[in-house]
Amino acid sequence: MFKDLEIVLQTQHIVKQFKTSKNQMLVACNDINLTAYKGKTLGIVGESGCGKSTFVRLLTQLETPTSGKILYHDKDIVHFSKKEAWLNRQNIQMVFQDPMASFNPKMKIIDILTEPLLNFKRIKRSEKETKAKELLEMVELPADFMYRYPHSMSGGQRQRISLARALSLEPEVLICDEATSALDVSIQRNIIQLLVRLQKEKNITIIFICHDLALISSFSHQIAVMYLGHIVEVIPGEKIKDGAKHPYTRALIDSQFSVHLSQDKQIKALDGEVPSPLDIPQGCPFQSRCKYCKEECRKEKPVLKEVGVGHQVACQYSK
């Protein structure tokens, strides 16, 4: 899509299957081919359970794909040794929805912030205070916060700490999995503004997962729309509102342009049942909810096809 930009991370035919307790095979990611570019944001949207977190857990090596390649600057990280995978954590960092879950509540902010730097021997113990001050400044928090514990901070402040900790190692790629979803709208906006500023300053590649299409399109350079483990559309962020072509993306947009999708709040504009990821139908994964579904759609699975610059759609009837 960005012809002159360096490709930082690329997945090729990534598949992830899980075996359930009843010995059934659940396909969480189904032939995913996505590219993240230097200094740009790739947004990923889709309903609950469509495989977004599984996909980024593969990128951060928290899970191993069943098949496919994950190229970080042409190096396939899937087959990295333990040592190489550990070293690669410095390049690809992740921020989660609930910072408390990734912090040790007994640690002060100064220790939370500098732990990764000490682990990788990037600073000396005597430099902890100076570094913590610098990191707090970067995320616009006062320096004396370094002596606090995470429980004495607000959700938004804690998420800034997560961000500072993730960026402390100066990663090339930052992955945010619903990093702002638990925050109220104005705090969410502040964190996004901060992310956008830091991206410009440090030329970071961001992969941002979110349920809110309006929010994600406000700052993503490209958006991948996921449905039942498949990528059904990839589109430049600024084009999504008027240019989206896949019936699923259109339904997401039409239902409301700012929607929080979850299993209990289904998309109003869509009828039909969501198939189980344990039993993905032959043909198009979206067939049971698509008002344009034809006989061919039940037979053949559509592949992503180029329909414009940086725009791909997996639907036989999207031109």
Ligand X SMILES: Nc1ncnc2c1ncn2[C@@H]1O[C@H](COP(=O)(O)OP(=O)(O)OP(=O)(O)O)[C@@H](O)[C@H]1O
Rounded CA-CA distance 273/266 in Å is 10
Map the footprint of ligand X across residues 243-282, applying CB under 6 A. 277
What is the rounded radius of gyration, in angstroms, for the C-alpha atoms of the chain? Answer: 20
Query: Looking at 39, 49, 155, 243, which residue binds ligand X (CB under 6 A)?
Result: 49
Number of chain positions touching Mg ion (CB under 5 A): 1
Query: Looking at 9, 34, 35, 51, which residue binds ligand X (CB under 6 A)?
Result: 51
Please report how the helices 155-168 and 185-202 are oriented relative to each other, as an axis angle in degrees rounded to 10. 20
Stretch that binds Mg ion, among 53-61, 65-73, 264-272, 280-288 (CB under 5 A): 53-61
Nearer to ligand X, 96 or 103 (CB): 96
Stretch that binds ligand X, among 20-28, 68-76, 138-146, 168-176 (CB under 6 A): 20-28
Nearer to Mg ion, 57 or 165 (CB): 57
Q: Is 249 in the site for Mg ion (CB under 5 A)?
A: no
Q: Is 61 in the site for ligand X (CB under 6 A)?
A: no
Stretch that binds ligand X, among 49-57, 88-96, 121-129, 308-316 (CB under 6 A): 49-57
CA 163 and chain centroid, separation = 14
Rounded CA-CA distance 144/134 in Å is 12
Q: Is 50 in the site for ligand X (CB under 6 A)?
A: yes
Rounded CA-CA distance 55/108 in Å is 32
Number of chain positions touching ligand X (CB under 6 A): 13
Nearer to ligand X, 32 or 235 (CB): 32
Nearer to ligand X, 23 or 126 (CB): 23
Query: Looking at 12, 15, 18, 143, which residue binds ligand X (CB under 6 A)?
Result: 18
Residues facing residue 233 across a β-bridge: 225, 313
Map the footprint of ligand X across residues 114-143, applying CB under 6 A. none
- Which phi and psi (to 5°) does residue 196 adopt? -65, -40
Q: Is 230 in the site for ligand X (CB under 6 A)?
A: no
Nearer to ligand X, 46 or 65 (CB): 46
Nearer to Mg ion, 97 or 312 (CB): 97
Tokens matching residue 32: 């995913």
Stretch that binds Mg ion, among 30-38, 51-59, 234-242, 259-267 (CB under 5 A): 51-59
Q: Is 53 in the site for Mg ion (CB under 5 A)?
A: yes
Stretch that binds Mg ion, among 21-29, 32-40, 47-55, 266-274 (CB under 5 A): 47-55
Nearer to Mg ion, 173 or 209 (CB): 209
Q: Is 28 in the site for ligand X (CB under 6 A)?
A: yes
275, interface contact from ligand X, Mg ion, none, CB < 5-8 Å by kind: none
Place of tokens 């970080």: 72
Stretch that binds ligand X, among 45-53, 70-78, 150-158, 290-298 (CB under 6 A): 45-53
Binding site for ligand X (CB under 6 A): 18, 20, 26, 28, 46, 48-54, 277
Binding site for Mg ion (CB under 5 A): 53
